[in-house]
Amino acid sequence: MQPVLATLAGEIIVWVVWVAAGVVLLASGLAVILFSNPFFSALSLILNLGSLAILYLLISSEFVAAAQILVYAGAVMVMFLFVIGYLGGRADAPWAGTHRVGKVAAVIAAIAIAVEVVVAVGIDAGGQLSSSAQITEAFGSPRQIGELFLSDHLLAFEVTSIILFIGAIGGAVLGSSARRRDRAAAATDEQEQAAA
Amino acid sequence: MTGPGIVAYVVLSVFLFSIGAVGVLVRRSPLIVLLALEIMLNAGNLALIAFSRHWGNGDGQIFALAVMVVAAAEAVVGLGLIVAMSRRRVALDVDKLTTLRG
Amino acid sequence: MITASWVALFAPAVGVLLIALARDLISKKQAGYIAATSVLVSFGSSLCALINLLGEDPEERSHSSSIWTWLSAGSFKVDLQIMVDPLSVLMMLIVSGVGFLILSYAVGYMHGDGEERRYHAYKALFVFSMLLLVQSGNLLLLLAGWGMVGLSSYLLINFWHQRASAVHAGKKAFIMNAFGDATFAIAIFLLAQRVGALDFGTVFSQAPEVIDKSSVAAVVIALGLLGAAVAKSAQVPLHTWLPDAMEGPTPVSALIHAATMVTAGVYMVARTHVLFELAPAILHLAAVLGAITLLMAGFIALVQTDIKRVIAYSTMSQIGYMFVAVGLGAYGAGMFHLMTHAFFKALLFMAAGIVIHALAGEQDIRKMGGLGKRLPLTFRIFVIGSLALAGIPPLAGFFSKDLILAHALAEGVIGPILWVCALVGAFLTAIYTFRLLFVVFFGKPSEHVEGHLHKERFEGPFAMMWPVGILTVLAVVGGLIEIPGAWHGISNWVEPVAAPLQEPEVWMEVLSPIVAVALAVLGAGIAWRLWGTQSDTPARLRERLPQVATALEHKLYWDEAYDRVFSVPAQQTALFLRRAIEGPIVLGSVGELGRSVRALGGRIARVQSGLLRSYALALAAGLAVIIVVFISVR
């Protein structure tokens, strides 16, 4: 094939992948908030995260894409599914119980934010965003991320590890104290029942 | 760069953010609220990575990774709270948790 | 040597921490031992520093060391820095040495007090603060030590916090000292502005170059420093806190209000003599204030009836001598008197402590008498202390006081006047000292004494007696380190740091002691005539001069004057403001304002629904609005 044709073919493929991923992204996002059963919501979110990873790949951020799949879809979402399973996956009426005004206001506010940002980007930054910087092969590679993490952003790296650690402790404490109080509460319940 | 420009990614990210925001604002189940929060965080990540690519600078990706970590920690604590609530037979409905009423 | 000095500085701080952290794990007595041991470590380290310094040339005996930068702003930098030179080592030895003896004594003295641990911790804290004060290598750290000794003095004065009088005395001491701290701070600000540094080396070398002699800046700096020295050392007009400070336990009076803290002013003037010499008028003012104080305190001490207050006024008077010395530029003489005074005054206080202990807390000398037979050892100790204080040869006070007198004679203009004042002071010192001795230890035992001490020979536990013994020896031989006319141990030692402004001639060093001793003996004789024999002369004197007696008993009305000038107007103003301004305006309008705000708040509180989602909605709506604003004002 001619080089021009090859480039054109590449461009077309990228566009197709981008459109597909974008559509899946928005659709699965909507699905997350529209499903009444949290189980389906969570599954949609996995889809959402997956399509995000594809988008990351399209802009040469391979490492983040991999981390996205591993950390989110692999770990966090499993945790979500686990909790949902533990709670029984009850469906709630997603749109009930809220004032109609509140719902409408929420949707209006969200749309307003979206439109405003688009307008802002269009009139303010559009010119600057038209041509992107040239990058090398190394951009977004694990090597580059690792070097950045362990040189310029070492503090951030350490702080995030501490945050994770604190989160782990917090989860453990929440779980254990809840169990102890459960037992105490159950004991008082039994006593009350016995007294009655 | 092949494919759509950065503006397209940013617009996509804003729409995703708005979808997440609607979820947080409208749904009553704390589980779904958490899921919607994840969507919002990921929308932010998408914008970060898009800009990172635009400037050819890796710092944005570092930031996105940090956001992922924070999101994971947040999910742990949030889910822990939800489990604790359900164990204590507290209704899983954010509208019923109004202890902070002034 | 530098390491030893750092150890000396921080050992008492470690002691404080240990006592504070160990709490009930250690007995009260152990707490006392910990405090004493930590100070002993300081003393040992100070000795190491001394020995090292002795091995060096006199001109090279100045070292400073800093472990970290405390604060820095541009080129202005203050380190946590210590200075090891003859002056600071001398003070370190006095503070830690006398401090160790008094802390050991206090273990016995405070035995049985409920809050002994707190006491020992405060005491060690004081020693740490005092060491920080004397070791600091820059003025800011000196001010920090200055404030911290004020704090620990405050804590210890009202150690018996159940007593209202002790609490008042503590507050009084703190406020008067705070005044001094403030003037000190002003001087430091001005110095920092003019010189751009606060460490001693830079300040003392730069200040004479950038500040003109007797210029306004020089006078204000010296005046600020003098204000601090006067407040801390209880000199006129900021002296009224010291007699009241006797509310604290007796070892506190011995350590803080006799031996160490109150002499900090003398040390400070000697240390910053370069700055004072830039304003000679202020240096002379220091000498004059010292002379006034030594006379006034001497007169007041004649009529006081509380054993500790008599000694306290005597302390003021002796510090007056030191101020005369440093004010005349005789820094070595001042430091020498500081040292001997620490020995014999601590000794007197500890002996008084034994008396008070033996009489179950009685401090009124009118209820004492005839204790010489009941407490023979204490009696002898007290005699030695009194002789040293009165300046009878060959005890410590003789040498140091007479060196000051000789220096006074050598100073041209105001020297002779101060010399006469000091001689009158020496005469008064002899009278009040021997009055105390005769009234307390001679004559027939009073009823009170009979009640508490019939036959019993127990004077104090060994823990209290051995430090007293060592101090007795020091009070006897401590003066031999410098013999006027023969050799000058202390003066030569201090000279590289603070060279004296004048050199007394030999005839001055011979004349002064002769006159002074003659006057002291005369004073002792008068005291014997008045109080030693059972005469009614004191009573007749009182009848003859009622106003004088009353005035002296009221301590020359200083407290009343301060009350009139500061306290009463302040209260009147406050009362007026309360009635005329606060009542109608503040309470009226603000009260109404408060009510309306509260009503408004009640209404707004309803917005706080506790509904998470309405808060989130408010956030989102706010974001939407803000973006619009940003776009439009771009």
pLDDT, one tens digit per residue, over C556-576 is: 777 788 778 877 888 888 888
Residue C486 pLDDT grade (very low, low, confident, very high; cuts 50, 70, 90): low
Residue A130: pLDDT over 80: no
Give pLDDT, residue A179: 61
- What average pLDDT does chain C have? 85
Interval C44-57: pLDDT, tens = 999 998 888 888 88
Which residue of C lies nearest to A107 if distances are taken between CA atoms?
C617
pLDDT number for residue C126: 93
Residue of C608, C610, C616 with shortest CB distance to B24:
C616
Is A105 in Cβ contact with C617 (below 8 Å)?
yes
C21 in B contact zone (CB under 8 Å)? no
* The pLDDT value given to residue C228: 92
Closest of C200, C198, C218 to residue C209, by C-alpha: C218
Look at residue B46 in the predicted model and tell me its pLDDT.
Answer: 94
Q: How many residues does chain A have?
A: 196
Give the separation between CA C516 and CA C165, rounded to whole angstroms: 38
Residue ranges of the alpha helices (H) in C262-330?
264-271, 273-277, 280-301, 307-327
Question: Which residue has tokens 């002056």?
Answer: C87
pLDDT at A71 over 90: no
CB < 8 Å to A106, chain C: 613, 617, 620
- DSSP code of C197? -
All residues of chain C having their beta carbon less than 8 Å from the beta carbon of residue A98 are: 613
Query: Among residues of chain C, what percentage have pLDDT more than 70?
Result: 97
Rounded-to-integer distance, Cα C38 and Cα C124, Å = 8
Q: Rounded distance, CA B84 to CA C17, Å? A: 43
Report how far Cα B93 is from the mean position of its chain's Cα atoms: 19
A101 Rama class: left (phi>0) / alpha (psi -120 to 50) / beta: alpha
Measure the CA–CA gap between C341 and C234, rounded to whole angstroms: 15
Handedness of CA C104, C109, C110, C112 (dihedral sign): positive
CB atoms closer than 10 angstroms to residue A101? 8
Asked if C621's CB is within 8 angstroms of A109's CB, the reply is yes
3-state SS, residue C67: strand
Residues of A in contact with C609 (CB under 8 A): none
Neighbours of C269 (CB within 10 A): 30
Please state the rounded mean pLDDT for residues C137-144.
90
Is the Cβ pair C610, B26 closer than 8 Å? no
C-beta atoms of B95 and C611 within 8 A: yes
Query: Which of C70, C22, C263, C266 lies closest to C153 in space, CA to CA?
Result: C263
Tell me which residues of chain B, numbers 30 to 89, contact chain A at a CB-CB cutoff of 8 Å.
31-32, 34-36, 38-39, 42, 45-46, 49-50, 52-59, 61-62, 64-66, 68-77, 79-84, 86-88
**What is the maximum alpha-carbon separation in chain A?**
90
* Predicted local confidence at residue C46, as pLDDT: 92
Contact flag C613-B26 (C-beta cutoff 8 Å): yes
Dihedral class, residue C23 (left if φ above 0, else alpha if ψ from -120 to 50, else beta): left
pLDDT above 90: residue A27: yes
What average pLDDT does range C401-417 have in this prediction?
83
Q: What pLDDT score was predicted for residue C580? A: 78
pLDDT range class, residue B15, cuts 50, 70, 90: very high
Contact between residue C106 and residue C120 where contact means Cβ atoms under 8 Å apart = yes
Of B59-68, C572-581, C621-630, least confident by mean pLDDT is C572-581
Mutate which: C603, C604, C612, vs B, most B CBs within 10 A: C612
Window 560-619 of C: residues touching B by CB (8 A cutoff) are 604-613, 616-617
pLDDT at C268: 92
Top-ranked range on mean pLDDT: pick from C56-70, C244-258, C583-597: C244-258
Mutate to test the interface with B, among A174, A181, A188, A189 (most CBs of B within 10 A): A174
Across the range C100-125, mean pLDDT stands at 87
Q: C617 vs B94: CB contact, 8 Å cut-off?
A: no
- State the pLDDT confidence band at C259, using cuts at 50, 70 and 90: confident
- Residue of B9, B38, B64 with shortest CB distance to A45: B38
Q: Do B3 and A11 touch (CB under 8 A)?
A: yes
Torsion over CA: A184, A187, A189, A195 (sign): negative
Banded pLDDT at B43 (limits 50, 70, 90): very high
Which of B2, B29, B35 faces A10 most closely, judged by CB atoms? Answer: B2
Residues C508 and C409: beta-carbon distance below 8 Å? yes
Closest by CA to C235, choosing from C174, C177, C160, is C177
Which residue among B26, B28, B102 places its CB closest to the CB of C605?
B102
What's the mean pLDDT in A135-154? 85
How do residues C71-103 score in pLDDT, each as one tens digit? 777 778 888 888 888 888 989 999 999 999 999
Pull the structure tokens for residue C444: 């027939």
| Phi, psi for C569 (deg, rounded to 5) | -60, -40
Contacts of A117 in chain C (CB under 8 A): 627
Distance between C612 CA and the closest CA of chain B, angstroms: 7
Determine the average pLDDT of the residues in B50-57. Answer: 88
Q: SS3 sequence, chain A? A: CCHHHHHHHHHHHHHHHHHHHHHHHHHHHHHHHHCCCHHHHHHHHHHHHHHHHHHHHHCCCHHHHHHHHHHHHHHHHHHHHHHHHHHCCCCCCCCCCCCHHHHHHHHHHHHHHHHHHHHHHHHHHCCCCCCCCCCCCCCCCHHHHHHHHHCCCHHHHHHHHHHHHHHHHHHHHHHHHHHHHHHHHHHHHHHHHHHC
Q: Which residue has the higher pLDDT, C361 or C476?
A: C476
Could you tell me the two tokens for C593?
């304002």
Give the mean model confidence (pLDDT) for residues A38-43: 88
Pick from C404, C264, C422: nearest CA to C325 = C404
Over residues C146-205, the pLDDT tens digits come to: 999 999 999 998 888 888 888 888 888 898 899 999 999 999 999 888 888 888 888 888
Q: How many CB atoms lie within 10 A of CB C518?
A: 13
Min Cα–Cα distance to chain A from B90, Å: 12
Q: How far apart are CA C129 and CA C23, in angstroms?
A: 22
Partners of residue C138 on adjacent β-strands: C199
Chain C residue with CA closest to B17: the answer is C620
Cβ–Cβ gap B61/A64 under 8 Å: yes
The pLDDT-based confidence of C411 (bands split at 50, 70, 90) is confident
Sort out which chain A residues have CB atoms less than 8 A from B31's CB and list them: 38, 41, 80, 83-84, 87
How many CB pairs lie under 8 A apart between chains B and C?
33
Q: Any idea what the Cα angle at residue C147 is, between residues C145 and C151, rounded to 5°? A: 110
- Chain B positions in Cβ-Cβ contact with residue A84 (cut-off 8 Å): 31
What radius of gyration do chain B's Cα atoms show?
A: 17
Q: Please tell me the distance in Å from B93's CA to the nearest CA on chain C.
A: 10
Look up residue C37 and give its two tokens. Answer: 């041991």
Mean per-residue pLDDT over chain B, rounded: 86
User: Out of A102, A109, A124, whose CB is closest to C624?
Assistant: A109
Interface of A with C in 124-183 (CB under 8 A): 124
Peptide bond just before C416 cis, omega within 30 deg? no
Distance of residue B94 Cα from the nearest chain A Cα, in angstroms: 11
pLDDT of amino acid C1: 76
In this predicted complex, what is the ipTM?
A: 0.89
The span from the CA of C238 to the CA of C257, in Å, is 14
Higher-scoring residue by pLDDT: A89, C207: C207
> Which tokens hold the place of C133?
């004060």
Residue bearing the bigger pLDDT, C265 or C24: C265
Return the amino acid letter for C463: A
Residue range B64-79, pLDDT digits in tens: 999 998 898 999 889 8
C249, pLDDT greater than 80: yes
Contacts of B28 in chain C (CB under 8 A): 613
- Confidence band of A23 (pLDDT split at 50, 70, 90): very high
pLDDT of residue A181: 62
Q: B95 and C613 in contact by Cβ < 8 A? A: yes
Lowest mean pLDDT among C69-83, C98-112, C293-307: C69-83
Q: What integer pLDDT is reported at residue C30 of this predicted model?
A: 86
Q: How do residues C418-460 score in pLDDT, each as one tens digit?
A: 888 889 999 999 999 998 888 888 877 777 777 776 555 566 7
pLDDT band, residue A98 (cuts 50/70/90):
low
DSSP strand E in C562-606: where?
A: none
Question: What does each C-alpha distance from C401 to C329, C423, C426, C506, C508 come to in angstroms?
Answer: 15, 10, 9, 16, 13
pTM > 0.90: no
**What pLDDT was estimated at residue C414?**
80
Contact between A117 and C620 using a beta-carbon 8 Å cutoff: no
What's the pLDDT at A90? Answer: 63
Q: Please, which pLDDT band fits residue C395 given cuts at 50, 70 and 90?
A: confident
With contacts defined as CB-CB under 8 Å, which chain A residues touch C614? 102
Q: Which range is most confident: A5-14, A182-191, C226-235?
A: C226-235
Is the predicted pLDDT of residue C122 greater than 60, yes or no?
yes
Query: Which residue among A98, A116, A123 sits closest to C624, beta carbon to beta carbon?
Result: A116
